[in-house]
Amino acid sequence: MTKIWVNSGDSHVMEPADVWTERLPARLGARAPRSERGEKYEMLYIDGERIDRQLGDFMDAMRPPGAWDLKVRLKDLDQEGVWSQLAFPSMGFWLVSITDRELARETVRAWNDWAHEEILSKNKRVITTACLSTADIDDAVAEVERVAELGFKAVFLPCSTRDGEEYALDRWEPLWTAVERAGLVLAFHIGTGGQNVVFRGPGGAVVNYMETTYPGMRVVSHMVAGGALDRHPDLRILIAEGGAGWMPAIGDRMDEAYRQHGMFVRPKLSRLPSEIIRQQVYASFQHDKSSVEIVESTGYRNVMWGDDYPHLEGTYGHTQSTLHDLFDGVPDDIRERVTRGTFNELFRLPEQTPQE
């Protein structure tokens, strides 16, 4: 079986437990996210709030030996055929729920400094997103400018927002301007910003998996229909780990809404919603065949494969068989686009994948 070399638009770094306590004064470090293992649940403490989650199951299911060690990770990637990765946080995801301005600013800054020193400065294949404060837009703008200087290629925000902070609202304008001007990708990872276990009845595991997918589409409907992407034509957003098959479907439905409910529509847009999605919205997937098929059948080309390394929803241990299932028989230009081209277009990395 020939090795298909790919880039991954959705991976994760595992931060050391002391990523904040080592870098912040005790009065702040003590309030940063930390998890303690309980019987069935892990207790997650964030600024005094407690969230019970089955994180332990996720951690135990972590197979890849390189999850916590960059050098070993690069060997894992060679084995799997992954050249570059865009790596999201793990514990860093929980920073988005901090509402205290100083704590949000300082924990975000500390996480980004750790990522810059321990990942970005130590290799060229794994690049991390940067975290941003959701507590204060001015702090987020300042951090965008700082991390762009440090060489980050993407920042991330949560898919779900607090009520009254939806992404269509003007409050975000200074941040959209800053991200667009810095040429960074604005990434949203599914399952962030809200509850991930919302139903505990029959089928709960699959229902909850699906329920974390919908907020990613909601980000797109707000930022397209609210005009954010129309006002910032160079701003590119990525919805990571939510699959990509939904892009043409919501493009069509938003066009229908825009036309059939035209008398209610504001703001008016300079392009149809579907055109804005085609040009400025990107999505990643791991196993979905439909994510490849829509590129062939609808011409939505902003589709990017992701290994979700080292999470159990990802492909570690079966990457090559997954890639052959997905791409054998698919036209070369589409395989090239989805496995490497979209990633290189977004993160403007020179083509580095070794030719087997």
Ligand X SMILES: CC(C)(COP(=O)(O)O)[C@@H](O)C(=O)NCCC(=O)NCCSC(=O)[C@]1(C)CCC[C@@]2(C)[C@@H]3[C@@H]4C[C@@H]5C[C@]3(C[C@]5(C)O4)[C@H](O)C[C@@H]21
Binding interface with ligand X (CB under 6 A): 54-55, 58, 90, 93, 190-192, 196-197, 200, 204-205, 208-209, 212, 311, 313
Q: Is 308 in the site for Mn ion (CB under 5 A)?
A: yes
Q: How far is the CB of 253 from ligand X (least distance, A)?
A: 23
Q: How far is the CB of 314 from Mn ion (least distance, A)?
A: 7
Tell me whether residue 62 or residue 265 sits nearer to Mn ion (CB atom).
62
Interface pick for Mn ion out of 119, 241, 280, 327 (rule CB under 5 A): 241
Tell me whether residue 57 or residue 351 sits nearer to ligand X (CB atom).
57
Q: How far is the CB of 164 from Mn ion (least distance, A)?
A: 28
Q: How far is the CB of 206 from ligand X (least distance, A)?
A: 8
Q: At 286, which amino acid appears? A: Q
Q: Which does 214 bind (CB under 5 to 8 A by kind): Mn ion, ligand X, none?
A: none
Q: DSSP character for 68?
A: G
Burial 314-341 (b: 16+ CB within 10 A, else e): bbbeebbebbeebbeebeeebbebbbbb
Q: Is 307 in the site for Mn ion (CB under 5 A)?
A: no
Picking from 18, 37, 30, the residue whose alpha carbon sits closest to that of residue 100 is 30
The residue number whose beta carbon is nearest to Mn ion equals: 241
3-class state of residue 83 by DSSP: strand
Q: Which does 197 bind (CB under 5 to 8 A by kind): Mn ion, ligand X, none?
A: ligand X
Q: Which does 6 bind (CB under 5 to 8 A by kind): ligand X, Mn ion, none?
A: none
Which structure tokens are listed for 155? Answer: 């920042």
Tell me whether residue 151 or residue 204 sits nearer to ligand X (CB atom).
204
Phi, psi of 272 (to 5 degrees): -65, 150
Picking from 178, 192, 101, 188, the residue whose alpha carbon sits closest to that of residue 147 is 178
Picking from 189, 182, 173, the residue whose alpha carbon sits closest to that of residue 152 is 182
Distances (CA, A) of 61 to 15, 193, 208, 253: 17, 23, 18, 38
Interface pick for Mn ion out of 5, 10, 128, 167 (rule CB under 5 A): 10
3-class state of residue 12 by DSSP: strand
Q: How far is the CB of 94 from ligand X (least distance, A)?
A: 8
Beta-sheet strand order (sheet of 6-12): 6-12, 82-88, 126-128
| Total residues interacting with Mn ion, rule: CB under 5 A | 3
Tell me whether residue 1 or residue 205 sits nearer to ligand X (CB atom).
205
Q: Which does 200 bind (CB under 5 to 8 A by kind): Mn ion, ligand X, none?
A: ligand X
Residue ranges that bind Mn ion, judged by CB under 5 A: 10, 241, 308
